[in-house]
């Protein structure tokens, strides 16, 4: 099982890596950010949009009083957040939400189960909260790795991703 300290560390890592990727993406033109690069969500922009959507989806389950359920996922175009400035602003704001949630985390909450309807499984699912939180952070890391590779191939230089190098 993970600890409250782990959640807080991963929330810091999430913010650090998002700042790095969005900063590197800012060096590209809109056309370069929207260019289909063969990733699951196609472009840098679409993948970053998907990460934010996924974060909102999970946080709406973890803290429904804090976060509203996001809109239905859009898999084409620039996703749910087509405007780059809007996407960046929402990312910064949501990273604050994740950090604040982590600061109020308790071991008792982690030890209980989360029950939700999964659109992927097409069924109600019940899993330990610590496992779903682990998935939440793993999902971010997985897709940020795709964005990091796309940004590097596009000629930008995001920060290293090693957790032990986090300032």
- Per residue of the chain (167 residues), give pLDDT as tens: 999 999 999 999 999 999 999 999 999 999 999 999 999 999 999 999 999 999 999 999 999 998 887 766 655 545 688 999 999 999 999 999 999 999 999 999 999 999 999 988 999 999 999 999 999 999 999 999 999 999 999 999 999 999 999 99
Number of domain units in the chain: 1
Domain that holds residue 80: 4-165
What local confidence, expressed as pLDDT, does residue 120 receive? 85
Length of the chain: 167
What local confidence, expressed as pLDDT, does residue 101 receive? 97
What local confidence, expressed as pLDDT, does residue 72 receive? 67
What local confidence, expressed as pLDDT, does residue 70 receive? 74
What local confidence, expressed as pLDDT, does residue 78 receive? 54
pTM to 2 decimals?
A: 0.94
Task: Tell me 154's DSSP state.
Answer: T
Task: Give me the CATH number covering residue 78.
Answer: 1.20.120.450
DSSP per-residue letters across 109-122: HHTSEEEEEETTTT
Long-range contacts made by residues 147-153, C-beta under 8 angstroms, separation at least 24?
147/21, 147/25, 147/39, 147/44, 147/47, 147/48, 147/51, 148/21, 150/37, 150/39, 150/43, 150/44, 150/47, 151/21, 151/24, 151/25, 151/28, 151/44, 153/37
Greatest alpha-carbon pair distance for the chain in Å reads 47
What local confidence, expressed as pLDDT, does residue 74 receive? 56
């Amino acid at each position: 099982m993970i600890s409250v300290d782990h959640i807080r560390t991963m929330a810091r890592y999430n913010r650090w890596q998002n700042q790095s990727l969005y900063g590197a993406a800012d060096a590209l033109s809109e056309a370069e950010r929207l260019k289909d690069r063969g990733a699951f969500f196609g472009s840098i922009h679409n993948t970053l949009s998907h990460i934010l959507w996924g974060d909102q989806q999970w946080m709406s389950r973890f803290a429904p009083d804090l976060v509203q359920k996001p809109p239905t996922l859009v898999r084409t175009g620039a996703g749910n957040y087509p405007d780059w400035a809007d996407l960046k602003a929402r990312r910064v704001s949501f990273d604050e939400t994740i950090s604040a949630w982590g600061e109020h985390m308790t071991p008792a909450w982690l030890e209980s189960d989360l029950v939700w309807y999964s659109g992927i499984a097409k069924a109600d699912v019940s899993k330990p909260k610590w496992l779903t939180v682990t998935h939440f952070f793993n999902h971010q890391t997985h897709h940020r790795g795709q964005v990091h590779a796309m940004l590097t191939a596009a000629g930008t230089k995001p920060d290293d991703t090693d957790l032990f190098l986090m300032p």
